[in-house]
Copies of this chain bind each other. A is one copy, B any other.
Amino acid sequence: MVDIAMIEAANARLGGRARRTPLLSSPFLDEIAGRRLFVKAECLQHSGSFKFRGGWSAVSGLDPVVRNKGVIAFSSGNHAQGVALAARMHGVAAVIVMPSDAPKLKIDNTRAFGAEVVLYHREREDRDEIGSRLSKERGLTLVRPFDEPLVIAGQGTTGLEIAVQAAEEDIGSAEVLVPCGGGGLTSGIALALEARSPSLKVRPCEPKGFDDTTRSLASGRIERNATLLGSICDAIITPQPGNITFPIMQRLCGPGIAVTDKEAMDAVALAFTRLKIVIEPGGAVALAAALFHGSQIAGNAVIVVASGGNVDGHVFMQALDGYAGRLVTN
């Protein structure tokens, strides 16, 4: 349903429009991780996260007649911005359905990219139902956030770049840790690496208590999260892995790794100090796994994806404050 040819096609459609994000490193982080650590900085992607890749892939892949009627997406914020920006660059309308507790920055940016924003309650309302209804009413094409082949193919272009950059850094074999919500990025990267660099093995990373993919991979069937509220990692909180993404992850990924909110926030602070990049907490779970759960990882090198940087200032300051505080008291 999704394969390397689709990822290559998405890459061709994206050509010159997605940023080839850098693979960063710091000797200070290597020391904490106990191995060479490389960070694929997708927070530097257009719209502030990898979601621009999937958004562009999906919008550019539509029949022009269909596309011109407009698109709709539901998202906690990063997919929203990715689709909104891709739609604007194509000159078509975008309606974005967002949870009312999404970070203000993400809601504001989505509106600033010219999209119409419809808010819903994360636990009381079903975003799929709202999306489908609006889609029918207005003739909009629904761009699903992860369980959509064109989107998975777009996210997979991150994996094509990782394969090239790992070779440039002389990384032979390594685990590639990926922040995982519904699994679009994780499965897309896994497919790209299967074809282009099979010695790089993907591991999904999630927040503790919202580790639906980790548990699903362990049990062999799709497991749901008990709740969707209460994590600082808003970017990657989804009810369960997708029907398309899960079988891909099951076939290609190693076991999931779960990190605490505190560990994610500490990773945010360390990325600030050591890499000079801004990561949001949800985008920092893979870095947190590499830094604080090294015993679960194999190999002399590890690659982590920093998937997004759309974080409100007060949350970022909390991360810096918390980390500085701990440095003083320890």
A76 vs chain B, min Cβ distance (A): 18
Contact A44 B272 (CB under 8 A): no
Chain B residue at minimal CB-CB distance from A306: B276
Chain B residues near A28 (CB, 8 Å)?
109, 112
Residue A278 lies at the interface, judged by CB distance under 8 Å to chain B: yes
Chain B residue at minimal CB-CB distance from A21: B22
Chain B residue at minimal CB-CB distance from A31: B112
A170 vs chain B, min Cβ distance (A): 10
Give Cα A289–Cα B316 distance, bound, in whole angstroms. 26
Give Cα A113–Cα B274 distance, bound, in whole angstroms. 13
Of the candidates B20, B273, B276, B316, which one forms a contact with A277 in the assembled complex, judged by CB atoms under 8 Å apart? B276
Residue A324 lies at the interface, judged by CB distance under 8 Å to chain B: yes
Give Cα A27–Cα B277 distance, bound, in whole angstroms. 19
Residue A15 lies at the interface, judged by CB distance under 8 Å to chain B: no
Contact B324 A276 (CB under 8 A): no
Contact A273 B313 (CB under 8 A): yes
Contact A22 B24 (CB under 8 A): no
Of the candidates B44, B313, B323, which one forms a contact with A276 in the assembled complex, judged by CB atoms under 8 Å apart? B44
Chain B residue at minimal CB-CB distance from A327: B313
Chain B residues near A105 (CB, 8 Å)?
273
Interface centre among A21, A24, A27, A276 (most CB of B within 10 A): A276
Contact B317 A321 (CB under 8 A): yes
Contact with B along A286-330 (1 / 0, CB 8 A): 000000000000000000000001100110110011011000000
Contact with B along A74-116 (1 / 0, CB 8 A): 0000000000010000000000000000000100010011000
Contact B276 A309 (CB under 8 A): yes
Residue A43 lies at the interface, judged by CB distance under 8 Å to chain B: yes
Of the candidates B19, B22, B272, B279, which one forms a contact with A313 in the assembled complex, judged by CB atoms under 8 Å apart? B272
Of the candidates B44, B272, B314, which one forms a contact with A316 in the assembled complex, judged by CB atoms under 8 Å apart? B272
Give Cα A85–Cα B28 distance, bound, in whole angstroms. 12
Give Cα A112–Cα B321 distance, bound, in whole angstroms. 22
Give Cα A43–Cα B48 distance, bound, in whole angstroms. 17
A8 vs chain B, min Cβ distance (A): 22
Contact with B along A38-70 (1 / 0, CB 8 A): 000101100010000000000000000000000
Residue A18 lies at the interface, judged by CB distance under 8 Å to chain B: no
Contact with B along A1-44 (1 / 0, CB 8 A): 00000000000000000011110100110000000000001011
Give Cα A313–Cα B328 distance, bound, in whole angstroms. 13
Contact B321 A277 (CB under 8 A): no
Chain B residue at minimal CB-CB distance from A23: B19
Which 9 residue pairs across A and B have the least CB separation, nearest first?
A276-B309, A276-B278, A313-B320, A43-B276, A317-B317, A313-B324, A272-B278, A48-B276, A44-B276
CB pairs A–B below 8 angstroms (8 shown): A20-B22, A22-B22, A28-B112, A41-B44, A276-B277, A276-B279, A317-B317, A317-B321
Extra contacts, 6 of them, besides A19-B22, A278-B278 (Cβ < 8 A), are: A19-B24, A28-B112, A269-B313, A276-B309, A313-B321, A317-B321
